[in-house]
């Protein structure tokens, strides 16, 4: 067993050691999510328009009861191509109804009948919503974001307090933690990452997953410290590195003057935290001191060393996440529907966690 604290991807409970702190105060509800797949709907927001020609068939599909990897295998078998010929921008869960795009490399050949791709059996379905040709394989991350429609059931909590918390989230945002999906069930990815850093051999695909989990743990620790210090969404006076909203472009360090404070308030820029790797931290002064102190225990030092030896470079990630077009509707006294859009690489579960304790089947 490792000496890691409880996994950063776990329930966002501020009552126990090692848990991720909420920025808006104690939990205001307890509820259940994913009572049925229809209670967790996700639609990808495409990052580009198809070129209209090329060797890659883009398929926009709706699926229920199957994750992205399963759907990719199903599409590969339908097309008679290896799984490596299938591309997709993001991973989607099995216990949901999701709409996402896949690409199929079909050089010098026509596609099979689309009707034969559709599947509807044993709680699993896949249907084709649209298709087009494109010049390149669909790479990971090639989406503008995801639109979520979520239903919380068996809800307990004061309705007025929940409405107030949602209003705060809509105007202030939430800490941009990495979600529980990054860490695996029970946080096992973190344990396996430490074992890999100690010399255990793993496959290439697993190696990438474990490096991401370890890096995400470091970021979540720093963000948790910034939430506790109260400057996660405003920035410190000195030493902060800033990220432009809607991009990965960063600048600084620059002191928080009146002009920058106005841009922060307008959600044009965000304070950032470290995605650990080789090289010096870009931040300076009190920001760098906080990040170094937060990641100075024995476990964190082993993770930092492992990430550096793996060749990753220092990068930054926004500390703040604001759901776009957040709306909610009370379906009954104990059922609440939420709708919002998030940029790629962020997690609906961290939005839910800012509300309270969310149970899954």
The tens place of each residue's pLDDT in the chain, 361 residues long, gives: 234 344 455 444 333 334 799 999 999 999 999 999 999 999 999 999 999 999 999 999 999 999 999 999 999 999 999 999 999 998 898 899 999 999 999 987 778 899 999 988 878 899 999 999 999 999 998 899 999 999 999 999 999 999 999 999 999 999 999 998 888 777 788 899 999 999 999 998 899 999 999 999 999 999 999 999 999 999 999 999 999 998 889 999 999 999 999 999 999 999 999 999 999 999 999 999 999 999 999 999 999 999 999 999 999 999 999 999 999 999 999 999 999 999 999 999 999 999 999 998 7
Q: How many whole angstroms separate alpha carbon 313 and alpha carbon 311?
A: 6
Phi, psi of 94, rounded to the nearest 5 degrees: -70, -40
Q: How many whole angstroms separate alpha carbon 352 and alpha carbon 246?
A: 21
- Domains 48-141 and 168-321 in one fold: no
Contact between residue 328 and residue 1 where contact means Cβ atoms under 8 Å apart: no
Q: For residue 7, what pLDDT is reported? A: 40
Catalytic annotation present for 120: no
Q: Tokens representing 137?
A: 């394989």
Q: For residue 290, what pLDDT is reported? A: 98
Q: Which residue out of 93, 163, 245, 334 is catalytically annotated?
A: 93
- CA angle centred on 295, ends 290 and 298, rounded to 5°: 145
Instruction: In the chain, count H helices and then E strands.
Output: 8, 17
* Paired strand residues for 313: 278
Q: How many whole angstroms separate alpha carbon 263 and alpha carbon 298?
A: 38
Q: Tokens representing 110?
A: 């026509």
Question: CA of 358: how far to CAs of 11, 150, 349, in Å?
Answer: 7, 12, 9
* Paired strand residues for 143: 46
CATH 3.10.105.10 fits 168-321, yes or no: no
Q: For residue 8, what pLDDT is reported? A: 52
Where do the H-state alpha helices sit in 230-334? 258-265, 285-294, 298-309
Contact between residue 14 and residue 22 where contact means Cβ atoms under 8 Å apart: yes
Domain boundaries, the chain: 48-141, 168-321
Phi, psi of 25, rounded to the nearest 5 degrees: 110, -175
Total-model pTM: 0.90
CATH 3.30.2350.20 fits 48-141, yes or no: yes
Look at residue 96 and give its three-state secondary structure: coil
What lies within 8 Å, CB to CB, of 35 at 6+ separation is: 151, 153, 154, 361
Q: For residue 15, what pLDDT is reported? A: 37
Q: For residue 284, what pLDDT is reported? A: 97
**Helix (H), strand (E) at residue 327:** strand 324-332
Look at residue 10 and give its three-state secondary structure: coil
């Amino acid at each position: 067993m490792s000496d890691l604290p409880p996994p950063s991807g776990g329930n966002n409970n501020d009552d126990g050691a090692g848990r991720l702190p909420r920025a808006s105060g104690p939990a205001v509800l307890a509820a259940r999510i994913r009572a049925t797949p229809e209670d967790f709907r996700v639609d990808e927001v495409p990052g580009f328009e198809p070129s209209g020609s090329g060797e890659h068939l883009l398929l926009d599909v709706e699926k229920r009861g199957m994750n992205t990897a399963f759907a990719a295998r199903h599409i590969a078998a339908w097309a008679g191509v290896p799984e490596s010929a299938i591309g997709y921008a993001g991973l989607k869960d099995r216990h949901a109804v999701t709409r996402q795009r896949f690409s199929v490399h079909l050089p010098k050949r026509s596609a099979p009948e689309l009707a034969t791709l559709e599947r509807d059996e044993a709680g699993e379905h896949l249907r084709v919503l649209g298709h087009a040709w494109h010049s390149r394989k669909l790479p990971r991350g090639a989406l503008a974001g995801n639109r979520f429609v979520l239903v919380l059931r068996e809800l307990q909590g004061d309705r007025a307090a929940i409405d107030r918390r949602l209003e705060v989230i809509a105007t202030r945002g939430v800490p941009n933690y990495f979600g529980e999906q990054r860490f695996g069930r029970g946080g096992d990815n973190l344990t396996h990452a430490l074992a890999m850093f100690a010399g255990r051999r793993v496959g290439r695909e697993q190696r990438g997953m474990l490096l991401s989990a370890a890096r995400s743990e470091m970021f979540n620790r720093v963000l948790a410290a910034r939430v506790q210090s109260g400057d996660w969404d405003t920035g410190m006076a000195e030493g902060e590195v800033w990220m432009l909203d809607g991009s990965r472009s960063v600048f600084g360090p620059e002191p928080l003057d009146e002009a920058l404070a106005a841009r922060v308030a307008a959600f044009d820029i965000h304070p950032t935290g470290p995605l650990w790797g080789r090289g010096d931290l870009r931040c300076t002064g009190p920001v760098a001191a906080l990040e170094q102190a937060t990641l100075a225990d024995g476990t964190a030092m082993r993770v930092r060393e492992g990430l550096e030896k793996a060749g990753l470079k220092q990068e930054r990630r926004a500390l703040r996440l604001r759901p776009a077009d957040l709306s909610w509707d009370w379906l009954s006294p104990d059922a609440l529907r939420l709708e919002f859009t998030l940029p790629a690489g962020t997690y609906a579960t961290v939005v839910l966690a800012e509300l309270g304790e969310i149970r899954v089947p």
